[in-house]
Amino acid sequence: MEREELKSAVESLLFVADGPQTLHRLAEVFDQADRQTLQSILNELQTEYESQNRGIRMVEVAGGYQLRTAKANADWVKKFLGGRPARMSKATLETLAIVAYRQPITKAEIEAIRGVDVDGVMTTLLERNLIRAVARKDVPGRPFLYGTTPEFLQLFNLKDLSHLPTLKEMEEISLPEIPGDVLPIDQLEET
Amino acid sequence: VSTKVQLEIFEGPLDLLLHLIKKNEVRVTDIPIAAITEQYLATLELMQSLSLDMAGEFLVMAATLIHIKSRELLPEGDEEPEPDEDEGVDPRAELVRRLLEYQRYKEAAAELEQREVLTRDVFVRATAPVEEAGPREFREISVFELLGALKRVIDRLPKDIVHEVMLEKITVREKMTLLLDRLRSESRIVFESLFSEVQSRMEIIVTFLAMLELVKVRAIRVFQDQPGGDILIEAAAGMDQAAEGIVLEEAEEKQDGA
Q: Which residue of A has its CA nearest to B56?
A: A116
Cβ–Cβ gap B115/A158 under 8 Å: yes
Q: Which residue of A has its CA nearest to B32?
A: A186
pLDDT value at residue A188: 39
For residue B251, the SS3 value is helix
Mean pLDDT of A131-140: 93
pTM: 0.62
pLDDT value at residue B132: 35
ipTM over 0.90: no
pLDDT value at residue A74: 92
pLDDT value at residue B249: 73
**For residue B199, what is the DSSP state?**
-
Q: Which of residues 34-53 of A touch B (CB under 8 A)?
A: none
How does DSSP assign A4-61, residue by residue? Answer: HHHHHHHHHHHHH-SS-B-HHHHHHHTTS--HHHHHHHHHHHHHHHHHTT-SEEEEEE
Per run of 10 residues, the mean pLDDT along chain B (length 258 residues) is 45 88 88 92 80 75 91 67 60 92 93 91 67 38 70 75 59 86 86 82 83 83 74 81 75 63
- Count the helix, strand and coil residues of chain A and give each as a percent rounded to the nearest 5: 50, 15, 35
Question: A137 — contact with chain B (CB < 8 Å)?
Answer: no
CA distance B165 to chain A (A): 46
pLDDT value at residue B138: 42
Give the confidence band of A191 by pLDDT, cuts at 50, 70, 90.
very low
pLDDT value at residue A96: 96
Give chain B positions within 8 Å (CB) of A118. Answer: none
Cβ–Cβ gap B27/A178 under 8 Å: yes
How does DSSP assign B128-177, residue by residue? Answer: GGGGGGHHHHHHHS-HHHHHHHHHHHHHTS-TT---TTS-----HHHHHH
What does the pLDDT look like over A74-109, one tens digit per residue? 999 988 887 666 678 888 999 999 999 999 999 999
pLDDT value at residue B110: 92
Question: Who's near B214: CB < 8 A, 6+ residues apart?
Answer: B176, B179, B180, B220, B242
The rounded Cα B201 to chain-centroid distance in angstroms is 35
> For residue A51, is pLDDT > 60?
yes
Nearest to A135 by CA among A167, A96, A179, A103: A103
